[in-house]
Amino acid sequence: MYWVYRNIPLDNEKENFTNTINKSWKEIYVNIASCKGSENQCLRIAWTLFVSYTPKNWEGYGGFKSDNVIPLRDFTKKSKEDTKRFVLEFTDGLALISKHYSAIIKPNELNNKLEYEILTKIKNAGNIANYLPLMVAVRIKVDKEEISQKDYLNFLNSLEIFSFRVFLWEGKRSNAGLSKFYAWSNDIFSDRQELSTITEWIYGTANWYSNENSFRKKLKEDFYNWYKTRRLLKYTLFEYELWILKKEGKGNIPKLNWNDLSDATLEHILPQNPNVNSDWLKNWDTNNFAKYLHDISNLVLTKDNSHYLNFDFDRKKGSSGVGHCYSNSDIRQERKISEFSEWTVNSCIKRRVELENWIVERWGIEKHFVIPSNLAEDDAEDELLEINLE
């Protein structure tokens, strides 16, 4: 508004320009407020798409006032006419970005159920901020029907797998892959790359951070202390519940919401502190107890684990089906535990194999994808960045 006041002399043009800015500001305000989003986050997406996709170049609001972007007085680096065109383009663009940003941050199930489901998974997995410029750029193209729904959903699936493999499974830093995702957002926004190519690069990058052979070997042979990685554990078991419901429960709504999950909703079937006179200590030797106690095979979602304490398996299972027990639980994976006649090492091994196979099918990367160029160099540079993306 100040730039218009200083640099547009004609009253009619100045009024039209001001009206355009006011209209866009109203849209931006409504869109960000409706999703309870972040103005700074939305502005950063606009900077990435319109000005610079290099993360280290982000200087916040002040960056827009530089002579290279929106010069106020000195037009030696950028002419007044070029600046005027940019201000108009950016004003419209920021309103459009806020619309799609809002739709991503707070998706509507009624608009597109499949999109809603995958966006919710990406959000639950964490670090969605890494992807926001790319997701917004892609969604703009989808809205213009320049990208198909099929390619869009395939792209979203690749992001969810990246989140699981890189952030949850490998525990990589929160900005891993940031430079690539930002560069790809500009590729899509500027029509330099097809989305299918970007999707393949995402899989290739995920495999670079989380090697497929190592992932499968660790899953099946080495990783038994799932309980120490709570978010990974909760996300995996929650997705497992959704999968069971889709497969056996005709897509019923889960009886636990993602936001309900806490340590109290994680149940150790073999309890952490069994009674000295319990059947547990008769059936489990010290080595197997230590090995399987915190493994995913011995953990299940529940509404409140205080109902079970350190009771023996027969009582937890609830053969009579009365009271709080596995057999009458509203949670499908918990009910499946009641199908076991006893809970022994062999029971854990059987359940573990089932979960391993499901995890590989769900988050494995079967095909070999090309690793993008300069990935190691970009990753090293990202590691030096201290950026708050929220």
DSSP 180-235: HHHHHHHHHHTT-S-HHHHHHHHHHHHHHHS-HHHHHHIIIII---GGGSHHHHHH
Q: Are 84 and 10 in contact (CB under 8 A)?
A: no
Q: Is 299 helix (H, G, I), strand (E, B) or coil?
A: strand
Amino acid identity, position 214: S
- Which residues partner with 266 through β-bridges? 301
Give the torsion through C-alpha atoms of 75, 76, 81, 87, to 10 deg: -60
Interatomic CA distance for residues 70 and 278, integer angstroms: 74
Q: Please return the burial class of 285, using the count of CB atoms within 10 Å of its CB with bins 0-12, 13-18 and 19+.
A: exposed
The radius of gyration computed from the CA coordinates of the chain, to the nearest angstrom, equals 26
pTM as predicted: 0.94
Give, in degrees to the nearest 5, the angle at Cα 382 between 380 and 386: 130
Output helix, strand, coil percentages for the chain, rounded to the nearest 5.
65, 0, 35
Amino acid identity, position 210: S
Give the torsion through C-alpha atoms of 373, 377, 383, 385, to 10 deg: -100
User: Which residue stretches of the chain have pLDDT < 70?
Assistant: 251, 319-322, 386-388, 390
| pLDDT at res. 68 | 93
Q: Please return the burial class of 206, using the count of CB atoms within 10 Å of its CB with bins 0-12, 13-18 and 19+.
A: buried
Q: For 280-335, how does the pLDDT look when each residue is reduced to its tens digit (9 = 90+)?
A: 999 999 999 999 999 999 999 999 999 999 999 999 998 666 678 999 999 999 99
Residue appearing with tokens 């509203």: 330
Domain boundaries, the chain: 2-105, 113-210+372-384, 218-343
Q: For 42-80, how does the pLDDT look when each residue is reduced to its tens digit (9 = 90+)?
A: 999 999 999 999 999 998 889 999 999 999 999 999 999
- Containing 268, the helix (H) or strand (E) segment is strand 266-268
User: Angle between the 113-125 and 149-162 helix axes, to the nearest 10 degrees?
Assistant: 20
Interatomic CA distance for residues 223 and 217, integer angstroms: 9
Amino acid identity, position 134: L
Residue 30 CB partners (closer than 8 Å, separation 6+): none
